[in-house]
């Protein structure tokens, strides 16, 4: 008992020197999370099988790294206050599970909450931050999603700062994902605390809708997209805006999944899959592992894309990339098809944030169609003219010609 109190005292006194672990998320994190598909129905077998599927499906090779267990993995705290996993759901324990994940070249993430209880009613970390951080480090955890349920009376910045300090004091580099839902504008203060922060409430597997749960709402893909307005200046390497986990493969159409994934790539959003990796269609795998789309998301500049124009439900988005390249995405939010009629030389686009200009009169670009996976010419042609189906995208990579 004296040893425990001594350790906690040492960890607590180190907080004046604490910081976040820098350099863990130089590009948006890529991985999987259990919540969207399985909610509280998580167990050891599911996590084993999901890790196996991440490797066999090609997702690991595409860049997906984290296997994140969301709410409801928790058992009880012991007499000293240390949390343990549910013994029926995770009989081998978290250390053994982390060893299994690490042996596959992947990393393991867990979930906790800043309040007394998690959103699913399990033990939260309030008052136990340093003990929980010590336990995560002991188990070999690599990623922590930290939620905001049951936090009455807490200051958001202070609560997340406490857990940041606890993680740092525990000594194991852990990606810190702050799931505060954007209520307290974490983009204003989160850069020095976490590696990513939620900008909205929960997503749902709907392209364009709102689901009202009475005391809270979940949001469709387009609603989440709209909530990113005005936030791009806050994101970048090691500090990312997080518009929530993806719903690709969870029931929307292939067009909608493709549009969803494309916009998350344009936003430089974390690519955290939320589907059942063990039972994916070929179309879902092709969307999640498209190398050009992932490269747009993982671009080292870390610049969030922006909406250039919108007319009759057809939006044009742009994202500056390294080596003076650009991503150009046409998004059709309507159900009916829309015509793309984009005259290259009539559009000179300046981005005040990145200080970059896309001038088709001065420079020529090779056009790569990301989803068709082929080159379709250069921007020296007069106009890009085609029809775009409803709830779909045309995602282009523009590579500057030397």
Q: What are the catalytic residues?
A: 147, 202
For residue 312, the 8-state DSSP code is: T
**Residue reference for tokens 């050891």:** 44
Cα–Cα distances in angstroms (integers) from residue 374 to residues 118, 345, 367, 369, 397, in the given order: 47, 23, 9, 6, 10
Cα–Cα distances in angstroms (integers) from residue 389 to residues 60, 368, 386, 394, in the given order: 31, 19, 10, 9
Close Cβ partners of 170 (under 8 Å, ≥ 6 residues apart): 11, 130, 133, 134, 136, 137
Q: Quick check: 326 and 311 in contact, CB under 8 A?
A: no
67-86 burial, b at 16+ Cβ within 10 Å, e below that, comes to bbbbbbbbeeeeeeeebebb
Please list the residues that pair with 175 across neighbouring strands: 143
Cα–Cα distance for residue pair 240/179, rounded to 1 Å: 12
**Residue reference for tokens 């523009």:** 398
Close Cβ partners of 137 (under 8 Å, ≥ 6 residues apart): 167, 170, 171, 172, 174
Cα–Cα distances in angstroms (integers) from residue 70 to residues 61, 180, 183, 274, in the given order: 23, 15, 21, 11
Please list the residues that pair with 394 across neighbouring strands: 330
Q: Quick check: 199 and 227 in contact, CB under 8 A?
A: yes
> Of 75, 79, 80, whose CA–CA distance to 94 is shortest?
75
Per-state percent for the chain, helix, strand, coil, to nearest 5: 30, 25, 45
Q: Given the DSSP bridges, would you call strands 107-113 and 143-147 parallel, antiparallel or unpaired? A: parallel
C-alpha torsion 239→241→247→248, nearest 10: -70
> Of 218, 385, 369, whose CA–CA distance to 290 is shortest?
369
């Amino acid at each position: 008992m004296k040893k425990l109190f001594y350790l906690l005292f040492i960890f607590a006194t180190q907080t004046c020197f604490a910081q976040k672990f820098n350099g863990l998320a130089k590009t948006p994190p890529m991985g999987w999370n259990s919540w969207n598909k399985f909610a509280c129905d998580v167990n050891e077998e599911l996590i084993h099988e999901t890790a196996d599927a991440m490797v066999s499906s090609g997702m690991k090779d595409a860049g997906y790294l984290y296997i994140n267990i969301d709410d409801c993995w928790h058992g009880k705290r012991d007499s000293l206050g240390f949390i343990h996993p549910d013994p029926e759901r995770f009989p081998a324990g978290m250390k053994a599970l982390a060893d299994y994940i690490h042996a596959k070249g992947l990393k393991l993430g867990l979930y906790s909450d800043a309040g007394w209880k998690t959103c699913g009613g399990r033990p939260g970390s309030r008052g136990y931050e340093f003990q929980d951080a010590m336990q995560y480090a002991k188990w070999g955890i690599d990623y922590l999603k930290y939620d905001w349920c049951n936090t009455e009376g807490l200051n958001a910045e202070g609560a997340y700062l406490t857990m940041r300090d606890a993680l740092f004091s525990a000594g194991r580099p852990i990606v810190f994902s702050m799931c505060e839902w954007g209520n307290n504008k974490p983009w204003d203060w989160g850069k020095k605390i976490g590696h990513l922060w939620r900008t909205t409430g929960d997503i749902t597997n709907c392209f364009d809708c709102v689901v009202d749960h009475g005391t809270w709402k979940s949001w469709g893909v387009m609603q989440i997209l709209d909530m990113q307005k005005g936030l791009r200046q806050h994101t970048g390497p090691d500090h990312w805006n997080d518009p929530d986990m993806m719903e690709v493969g969870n029931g929307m159409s292939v067009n909608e999944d493709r549009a969803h994934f494309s916009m998350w790539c344009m936003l430089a959003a974390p690519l955290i899959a939320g589907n059942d990796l063990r039972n994916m269609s070929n179309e879902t795998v092709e969307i999640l592992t498209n190398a050009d789309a992932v490269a747009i998301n993982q671009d080292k500049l870390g610049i969030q894309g922006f909406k250039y124009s919108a007319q009759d439900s057809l939006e044009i988005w742009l994202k500056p990339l390294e080596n003076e390249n650009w991503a150009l995405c046409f998004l059709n939010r309507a159900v009916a098809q829309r015509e793309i009629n984009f005259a290259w030389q009539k559009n000179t686009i300046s981005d005040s944030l990145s200080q970059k200009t896309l001038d088709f009169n001065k420079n020529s670009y090779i056009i790569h169609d990301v989803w068709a996976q082929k080159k379709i010419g250069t921007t020296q042609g007069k106009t890009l003219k085609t029809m775009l189906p409803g709830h779909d995208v045309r995602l282009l990579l523009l590579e500057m010609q030397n």
